[in-house]
Amino acid sequence: MEKNFVIAGFGGQGVLLAGEVLANAFMLEDKKVTWYPCYGAEMRGGTVNCEIVMSDEEVSSVNKKEADFIIVLNQASFDKFEPKVKKGGYLIVNTSLAEKIENRSDIHYVFAPISEMAEKLGNVKMANMLSLGLLMRASGLLSVDILEKALDTVLPVHRKNLLPLNKNAMEMGYKYDLLAVNC
């Protein structure tokens, strides 16, 4: 089994870190995994994204045409990645910064005001971890505990104090009622 994920947003939303946490979580589950950042002459204020490919065997490739799961944290990412969700795949949308529109009928949309939820929890910067919680709920692939362990692996010692808050964010995402929104 091979599944791939894209996390996209604008610079500063913690998109690459969220991808790193996700990739570490798969590694902790003994999966083969590859993380690859969007790469090129990027522009300040522009969009940023990364792709994570998880597999039971050697990861075949990155830069895939389509993804099983895509998280978009802003409108520009929504516009760019909505067409790239695999048929039957999931698009997780931050409705705080993107419009709630469904242009396709062959994919699952998960709409949630991710930035506002993170802000309510104490810090908008946790939108990235909150979105990972949503992803786990939609995909059923990993538990929040594994995500937390992965974040612990990634965080440098002087940032470990941020673990509890971020775990709350992951849990809030995980517990978000997907059915009530649209799934």
Partner 1 sequence: MVECLNKTKVLTKGNYAIANAAVIAGCDCYFGYPITPQSEIGEFMSGKMQELKRAYVSAESELAAINMVLGACSTGKKAMTSSSSCAIALMQEALSYATSDELPVVLVSVMRGGPGLGNIFPSQGDYNQSTIGGGDGDYKIIVLSPSTVQEAVDLTYKTFYLAHKYRNPAILLADGLLGQMMEPVEFGEYPYPEVDHSDWALLGAKNRNSRIIRSYSPQEEPQCEHIRHIFEKYRHLEENEVMYEEIDTEDADLVVLSFGSLSRNVKAAIKQLREKGLKIGFFRPITLFPFPNKRLQEIAGKTKKFLTIEVNMGQMVRDVRLAVNGKVPVEFYGKPVGSWPSVEELAEAIEKAVI
Residues that bind partner 1 (CB under 8 A): 20, 23-24, 27, 32-37, 39-41, 58-65, 153, 156
Shortest Cβ distance from residue 137 to partner 1 (Å)?
A: 23
d(CA 57, CA 60): 8
Q: What is the DSSP letter of 31?
A: -
Indicate the helix (H) or strand (E) that contains 70. strand 67-72
d(CA 144, CA 151): 10
Shortest Cβ distance from residue 121 to partner 1 (Å)?
A: 27
Of 53 and 178, the one with the shorter C-beta distance to partner 1 is 53
Shortest Cβ distance from residue 32 to partner 1 (Å)?
A: 8
Shortest Cβ distance from residue 130 to partner 1 (Å)?
A: 22
**Helix, strand, coil shares of the chain as percentages rounded to 5?**
45, 25, 30
Of 43 and 180, the one with the shorter C-beta distance to partner 1 is 43
Of 45 and 156, the one with the shorter C-beta distance to partner 1 is 156
d(CA 69, CA 23): 14
Of 64 and 108, the one with the shorter C-beta distance to partner 1 is 64
